[in-house]
Amino acid sequence: MIKIDFRKALAGLYTAPVGRFIEIDVPTFGFVKIDGEGDPNTSPAYRQAIEWLYPVSYALKFAAKGIGKDYVVPPLEGLWWADEPADFVARRKDRWRWTMMIMAPDFITPPFFEAAIEKAKRKLGDAPSSLRLEPLTEGRSLQTLHVGSYDDEGPALARLHDEIMPTQGLTFAGPHHEIYLSDPRKSVPAKLRTILRQPVKPR
């Protein structure tokens, strides 16, 4: 049985230059998603989202072996926004809204997902009401690789919003998207590697 590593099979979606935004075309993928709001460092909802996403995603991985499929569970990803966009760039985290998610391959079916939830419930109790398996379509996007603390992303995003997108005649076509290539439990903040992605469309 071949094990699929999506970070390698879809390398163009998980790599980008540091300090420079490149344009990519992102296909539609399915994701296990949970919504919430507030500072991810202090929000109980954020902690609960992470506690649920991984067990469900690993249960899906093991269930897929029953149909002859195996894969490396993809990295954690997040969609981030605020009612006032300046609150996001300025890192006023208590005003943030988010969807945390992990990609699920197209051979993961709703029955697999429901079984994974039931398995996780035995350990975690009631599932978050927003837990779901849902596609995400982004299409044309700009992305870069940020190396460093999450709190140091602000200047790159400000340059994207205030310089790069206006110069190219582009506007927002979806929320800010982050892909966490590093495990913050194992990496010092200065070495964290994060893909920063922004879906765009003509202004």
Beta strands in 56-169 (DSSP E): 70-71, 76-82, 96-104, 132-136, 139-147
pLDDT at res. 197: 98
The pLDDT assigned to 110 comes to: 95
What is the rounded CA–CA span in Å between residue 65 and residue 70? 5
Contact 108, 71 (CB under 8 A): no
The residue type at 66: G
For position 165, what pLDDT does the model report?
97
Helix axis angle for 110-124 and 44-64, nearest 10°, is 130
Q: Looking up tokens 């205030």, which residue turns up?
A: 162
Q: Please give the model's pTM, rounded to 2 decimal places.
A: 0.95
**Amino acid identity at 128:** P
**Element at 161 (helix H, strand E):** none
For residue 24, pLDDT beyond 90? yes
pLDDT of res. 88: 74
Within a 10 A sphere around the Cβ of 4, how many other Cβ atoms?
Answer: 16
Contact yes or no for 64/71 (Cβ under 8 A): yes
**Given a cut of 80, is residue 89 above it in pLDDT?**
no
**Confidence check: pLDDT of 184 > 90:** no
159 pLDDT more than 90: yes
3-state secondary structure of 45: helix
Q: CA-CA distance, 3 to 189, in Å (whole number)? A: 30
> Higher pLDDT residue, 70 or 93?
70
- Give me the amino acid identity at 57: S
First to last CA, the chain: 47
Q: Is the pLDDT of residue 85 over 80?
A: no
66 Cβ contact partners less than 8 Å away, ≥ 6 residues apart: none
